Amino acid sequence: MKEDRKISELTPQQEAQLDAYKRKWQQVALSTTPIDKQNVKQAIEAIYEKTVSHELEIYFFDSPEKVANLSFLTRVYPQENWSNPKKLNNLIRQVEKDLSKKILLPRTLFENIQNPLLEAITRQLDIELWHHLERRLSFQSPISTVIHQELRGKEKLSPIWKLAKPAQKKRLEGLWRFLSLANLQKPGYLCSRCCIFDYCINELKCSVPEKPWQILTTFVAECGWTFFFYDFCFTCDRPCKLILDEQNKPHSENEAAIQFSDGFHAFAQ
């Protein structure tokens, strides 16, 4: 059986649409629309259903600062006495053990969703055209790096930190590093991949499995920063205000360029 011919080049009209798709998905990555908790719940449950299929508890936070400053500890472990310095060492050890055992890499979750889309599209495109689209349509969210830098050291704001001894403080610092490196998925990062998929589906008429595409785009459209674990996750609201320059980069001289509803903010670097 003769193999279907792959798409190897763009028409002038298709080439002209590249920038419009990029702008579309950059705007999704920069959304300041508050999350709808019911929509977020459905979006996240669809991701888990596709991968691990079990009961899930979702913790909502107004900003990533509420995770970085360890506020999540009293939410996930409300029965524990975090104000008792004598119990703190055992509690930190318990949390470290629980979180490491329940780690669920976002890469694993989203590979199960993205890979069928990627495989379907690349079967229909010449490899050189795919690389061309990656060069033209890929982008990084300009606000993620600024937010991440502003979150450094936020664990020191925690009442738990103030009770901790030096060795315990070092381990509390490690909790945020662990969360931000291992478990965090930023929808802004996925917007770049969605941009390429969207272009291929709608402009080049590539066929893809419908459900993974729906799950991926719903998560990107509905959710903020999300930290994934085996049977629970933390998900954060979006910024309520962004001040950007002509390149859509955070920029402000006299006020915070990124602001969240709970007061967390970040200045342009």
Residue 1, pLDDT > 50, answer no
Question: Among all chains, which residue has been given the structure tokens 């949390």?
Answer: 95
With residue 153 as reference, give the H or E element that holds it.
none
**Cα separation of 267 and 252, whole Å?**
7
Mean of per-residue pLDDT scores for the chain:
90
- Strand pairing report for 184-185 and 241-242: unpaired
**Cα separation of 242 and 268, whole Å?**
10
Bridge partners, residue 241, by sequence: 259
Backbone CA torsion sign across 73, 78, 81, 83: positive
* pLDDT value at residue 100: 83
If one counts every other C-beta atom within 10 angstroms of the C-beta of residue 184, the result is 19
216 band by pLDDT with thresholds 50, 70 and 90: very high
What are the DSSP calls for 27-49, one per residue? HHHT--PPP-HHHHHHHHHHHHH
Is the pLDDT higher at 212 or at 102?
Answer: 212
180 band by pLDDT with thresholds 50, 70 and 90: confident
Residue 41, pLDDT > 90, answer yes
- Closest to 75 (Cα-Cα) out of 64, 83, 84, 67: 67
Q: How far, in Å, are 2, 111, 240 from residue 230 at the CA level? A: 44, 16, 29
Bridge partners, residue 207, by sequence: none
Q: 117-132 pLDDT, tens per residue?
A: 999 999 999 999 999 9
Backbone CA torsion sign across 244, 245, 247, 249: negative
